[in-house]
């Protein structure tokens, strides 16, 4: 039995979006400690606001903005006993849907409470504002229990002199990956500078990297087949955006490569040739750097280009 491989993986990118008039007013309102919703054609008030009526699909626009109170009622909730990095509170809290006074729909946010016994549907809560606010949903630090009367709206018109027009929301997936039997064998072979796929016993296709089963036939694959280390570029793209934590100058080429003997293209970076000379049919070979457990990139092998007929089924 080979050792079971495991690696920590992080997928992280900033997601930038423009807001449009309704979301702009909503988030700018939070910055100024005002909660805005929209009124739909049938008179209901939606918080958080939307740009289009969810029933009629008619545009609502910023003409439908209406202020609601920063106090409200919990309509449902779930206890989060182990907060994760980036969540609104670092101590255990409730995720709650809160219908603010004056609204007909509920807003999802954190509710700070000493424990799940202190939370119930129907309990009264109010907004706890963040000390520093920038025009984001986190301007509401959380909700907190509240015993008093419904708060009065301030009478805000929903118009702002310096509205927030965009947000950057960081997206992050942080997980542990274990590749399983087939891919572990593939990775062990790569560390020894061999490329090994698996053949389907039914359709005879060779999958590289192997996944342990044929996705077409639905049967397990076990027969190991050595492929490569040369192959053919079947299709490619030129990357012009520099990735954080990746020490590669742009532009560079990322390609689908059909290794010799494989019936599925894998992807890899192409180097050793100007980016604008990479082409379909280009013959390449894997390059391992000193001590590497997998190929760093692929470079031209010097062979004549492959005929389209030889790889057209692998695009």
Q: Smallest distance from the beta carbon of 218 to Zn ion, in angstroms?
A: 8
What is the number of other CB atoms lying within 10 angstroms of the CB of residue 70?
Answer: 23
Residues 207-226 as x/- pattern, contact with Zn ion by CB under 5 A: -------x-xx---------
Q: Residue 67 or 198: which CB sits closer to Zn ion? A: 198
Query: Which range in 99-107, 144-152, 201-209, 252-260 contacts Zn ion by CB under 5 A?
Result: 201-209
What does the alpha-carbon distance between residue 170 and residue 27 come to, in Å, rounded to a whole number?
A: 17
Query: Which range in 182-190, 193-201, 229-237, 286-294 contacts Zn ion by CB under 5 A?
Result: 193-201
41 Cβ partners below 8 Å, 6+ apart? 53, 55, 56, 58
Q: Distance from CA of residue 35 to its chain's centroid?
A: 28
Query: Which range in 68-76, 99-107, 160-168, 194-202 contacts Zn ion by CB under 5 A?
Result: 194-202
Q: Residue 188 or 205: which CB sits closer to Zn ion? A: 205
264 binds Zn ion (CB under 5 A): no
Residue pair 2/178 in contact (Cβ under 8 Å)? The answer is: no
Q: Residue 141 or 200: which CB sits closer to Zn ion? A: 200
Query: Which range in 26-34, 129-137, 191-199, 206-214 contacts Zn ion by CB under 5 A?
Result: 206-214
Q: Residue 134 or 202: which CB sits closer to Zn ion? A: 202
Q: Which of 121, 157, 202, 310 binds Zn ion (CB under 5 A)?
A: 202
Q: Residue 125 or 227: which CB sits closer to Zn ion? A: 227
Q: Smallest distance from the beta carbon of 1 to Zn ion, in angstroms?
A: 26
Q: Residue 199 or 269: which CB sits closer to Zn ion? A: 199
Beta strands in the chain (DSSP E): 7-18, 35-39, 45-46, 65-68, 71-80, 93-100, 107-111, 124-129, 140-145, 166-177, 195-199, 206-207, 223-227, 230-239, 252-259, 266-270, 283-287, 297-300
Phi, psi of 109 (to 5 degrees): -160, 175
200 binds Zn ion (CB under 5 A): yes
Residue pair 5/187 in contact (Cβ under 8 Å)? The answer is: yes
- Identify the CA nearest to 3 among candidates 157, 143, 178: 178
Q: Smallest distance from the beta carbon of 255 to Zn ion, in angstroms?
A: 25
Q: Residue 217 or 238: which CB sits closer to Zn ion? A: 217
- Dig out the tokens for 216 from the structure: 């077409």
Beta bridge partners of 235: 256
262 binds Zn ion (CB under 5 A): no
Q: Residue 184 or 221: which CB sits closer to Zn ion? A: 221
Q: Residue 88 or 210: which CB sits closer to Zn ion? A: 210
- Identify the CA nearest to 205 among candidates 260, 262, 266: 262
Query: Which range in 143-151, 165-173, 192-200, 307-315 contacts Zn ion by CB under 5 A?
Result: 192-200
Q: Using the 8-state DSSP alphabet, how is residue 19 labeled?
A: -
Q: Smallest distance from the beta carbon of 263 to Zn ion, in angstroms?
A: 9
**Total residues in contact with Zn ion, by rule CB under 5 A:** 6
Q: Smallest distance from the beta carbon of 313 to Zn ion, in angstroms?
A: 14
203 binds Zn ion (CB under 5 A): yes
What does the alpha-carbon distance between residue 27 and residue 218 come to, in Å, rounded to a whole number?
A: 49
What does the alpha-carbon distance between residue 54 and residue 46 come to, in Å, rounded to a whole number?
A: 10
Q: Smallest distance from the beta carbon of 198 to Zn ion, in angstroms?
A: 10
Q: Which residues bind Zn ion (CB under 5 A)?
A: 200, 202-203, 214, 216-217
């Amino acid at each position: 039995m080979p050792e079971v491989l495991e690696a920590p993986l992080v997928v992280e990118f900033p997601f930038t979006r423009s807001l449009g008039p309704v979301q702009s007013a909503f988030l700018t309102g939070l910055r100024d400690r005002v909660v805005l919703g929209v009124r739909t054609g049938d008179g209901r008030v939606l918080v958080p606001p939307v740009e289009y009526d969810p029933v009629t699909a008619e545009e609502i626009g910023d003409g439908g903005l209406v202020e609601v109170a920063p106090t409200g009622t919990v309509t449902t909730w779930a206890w989060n006993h182990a907060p994760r990095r980036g969540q609104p509170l670092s101590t255990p809290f409730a995720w709650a849907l809160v219908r603010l006074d004056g609204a007909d729909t509920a807003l999802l946010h954190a509710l700070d409470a000493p424990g799940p016994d202190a939370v119930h549907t129907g309990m009264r809560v109010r907004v706890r504002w963040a000390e520093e606010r920038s025009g984001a949903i986190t301007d509401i630090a959380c909700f907190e229990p509240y015993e008093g009367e419904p708060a009065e709206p301030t009478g805000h018109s929903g118009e702002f002199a310096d509205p927030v027009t965009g947000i950057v929301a960081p997206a992050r997936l942080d997980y542990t990956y274990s590749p399983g039997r087939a891919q572990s064998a593939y990775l062990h072979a790569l560390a020894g500078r061999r490329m090994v796929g698996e053949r389907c016993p039914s359709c005879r296709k060779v999958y590289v990297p192997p996944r342990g089963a044929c996705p077409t036939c639905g049967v397990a694959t076990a027969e190991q087949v050595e492929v490569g280390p040369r192959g053919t570029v079947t299709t490619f793209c030129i990357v012009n955006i520099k990735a954080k934590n990746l020490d590669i100058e742009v532009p560079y080429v990322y390609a689908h490569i059909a290794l010799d003997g494989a019936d599925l293209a894998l992807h890899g970076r192409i180097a050793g040739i100007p980016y604008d000379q990479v082409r379909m049919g280009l013959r390449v070979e894997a390059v391992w750097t000193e001590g590497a457990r997998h190929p760093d990139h692929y470079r031209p092998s010097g062979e004549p280009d492959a005929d389209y007929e030889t790889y057209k089924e692998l695009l």
